[in-house]
Amino acid sequence: MALAMVAEDRQINDVLEELFAEEGNELHIRLAELYLHEGEELSFYEILLRARQRREIVIGYRLVNAERAVINPPAKNERRRWSVKDVFMVITEKE
């Protein structure tokens, strides 16, 4: 799958190299409660801004009752009501 992504977009290669390197950033699953309050209505873009304050980059989410995650959501400005049990996929500095 990674090779297919690189074939489609060479810029993704830098991101993949960083994630797969022994040193560097890591991919984490974080509970939504780190970024919002129960029932708070926010856009994905607003979540991105809150994550930036933690030196993290949010790349997607999975709602508590959903089977699949949403990576790079297209409607980043669309506001929605979040649950603290939702999770976000974030890129963060190695701990």
Confidence band, pLDDT 50/70/90 cuts, at residue 8: low
More confident residue, 34 or 13: 34
Q: Do residues 21 and 15 make contact, with C-beta atoms less than 8 angstroms apart? A: no
**Rounded to whole angstroms, what are the CA distances from 6 to 1, 27, 60?**
9, 18, 19
Taking the C-alpha atoms of residue 84 and residue 28, their distance in angstroms, rounded to an integer, is 16
Domain 25-93 has CATH 1.10.1660: no
Condensed to tens digits (0 to 9), the pLDDT of residues 14-25 reads: 666 766 677 777
The reported pTM is 0.77
- Taking a C-beta distance cutoff of 8 angstroms, is the pair 35, 51 a contact? yes
Reported in sequence order, the residue ranges of 1-95 that DSSP labels E, i.e. its strands, are 25-31, 41-43, 56-62, 70-71, 79-81, 87-93
